[in-house]
Amino acid sequence: MARLANALLIGTAALCFALPGAWRAQDERASPARPESDEETKPYTPPSASKSVTVGDYYLKKKKYNAALSRYQEAVETDPYNPTGYLGLGRVYEKIGLKQKALASYQKYLDELPSEKQAEEAREVHRAIDRLERSLGKPVGRKQ
**Structure confidence by residue, pLDDT tens digits, 19-38:** 565 555 555 565 555 555 55
Question: Cβ contacts of residue 113 below 8 Å, gap of 6+?
Answer: 83, 119, 122
pTM above 0.75, yes or no: no
Closest CA to 76 of 110, 100, 101, 53: 53
Q: What CATH number matches the domain at 49-136, 1.25.40.10, 3.40.50.300, 3.30.420.40, 3.40.50.2300?
A: 1.25.40.10
**Mean pLDDT of the region 121-142:** 83
pLDDT score recorded for residue 63:
96
**Is residue 122's pLDDT more than 90?**
no
Concatenated DSSP letters of 30-77: HSPPPPPPHHHHSPP-PPPHHHHHHHHHHHHHTT-HHHHHHHHHHHHH
**Mean pLDDT of the region 103-123:** 86
Sort 96 into a burial class: Cβ within 10 Å, 0-12 / 13-18 / 19+. middle
